[in-house]
Amino acid sequence: MFTIERLQHNGFNKILLADDVSQSGVEIVPGCGAMLHAFTVQNEKHTINFIDSHLNKDEFDENAETSGFKGLKLSPFPCRIPNAEYRFNGHRYHFNNSLLEGSAMHGLLYRQPFRLVQEQATENFAAISLLHEYRGSDAGYPFPYDCIVDYRLEKENTLSVTTTVKNTGASPLPIADGWHPYFTFGSKVDDLELQFQSQEVMEFINLIPSGRILPYATFSSFARIGETALDNSFVLDFSKSQPMCILREPATGWQLEIRPDKSYPYLQIYIPPHRRSIAIENLSAPPDSFNNGIGLIVLPAGADTRFFTQYAVKNKTGGF
């Protein structure tokens, strides 16, 4: 049986989706950018949380950006836009807020409240729908739209996340989408193994795509992360079978599988300096898509578009 519970803890108002049989659970914080706060599974008598998130609401309020946008919705664009400006349909736009070295970062919704509009718990799943109605308040993005995030916890420790964007304005709008979860197995990522279905990396100049695609096969089969430094966008190969990405810990047998559909053709991977977690980000477009047009969706008035990814936690008992 699946259940839905509301919790107040460390200043956060959370919604818990729980599988009462397997004891797995997902915590979401609607008021903080629809944040994925925890994904826990039961291991004998211990509970393991595979999400690196904010300790409390005060820490989120002070450090949401500087700690890496942990677990947050990236909309209406992911990653960075240099100088916080772009051109669309013959007009130049400049965002009100800029962050790192004057760039706009990770959209406009990552601190915004979402409200619960639907929930359902059955024998097979627990699901909620969260809505933020953006009204065009930032001069850099005067395009109103609805952002709906659906979280659905199913059997076998499987979490599906669907984002739907609907253009509620009278003119077309540019849109890209992404997520920014950080995953952890409780210690440094160096001893973890990584594999993803790509042999292509986007060449970056100052973390912005140059337009060139380069070969990259380091993690086309399982390899230890070791001291590898990553802050890159990889082009997923959907001719290969799912999952598109696997992160695993050979010593314990735990592994995380990531299964996006073709709405998220890019995989951004970032290892922060502390190396205690790794951001594996499903993106519909790489950095600066509002300027370079790579992966950018132009959504007509009244139209909607959908983005989907799925996470599953498994245990291969006895290691690999």
Span 8-63, pLDDT tens digits: 999 999 999 999 999 999 999 999 999 999 999 988 778 899 999 999 999 999 98
Token readout for 44 is 């004998």
pLDDT for 279 = 97
Does 71 have pLDDT greater than 60? yes
Provide the 10 A C-beta neighbour count for residue 169. Answer: 17
Q: Which residue has the tokens 């070791």?
A: 226
Q: Can you tell me the mean pLDDT for 148-162?
A: 98
In sequence order, the 6+-apart residues with CB closer than 8 A to the CB of 200 are 213, 214, 215, 216, 234, 235, 237
Give all strands (DSSP E) within 236-284, no chain letters.
245-249, 254-258, 266-270, 278-283
For 268-307, write each residue's pLDDT tens digit.
999 999 999 999 999 999 999 999 999 999 999 999 999 9
Kindly give the pairing relationship between strand 278-283 and strand 297-299. Answer: unpaired
Three-state DSSP state, 63 = helix
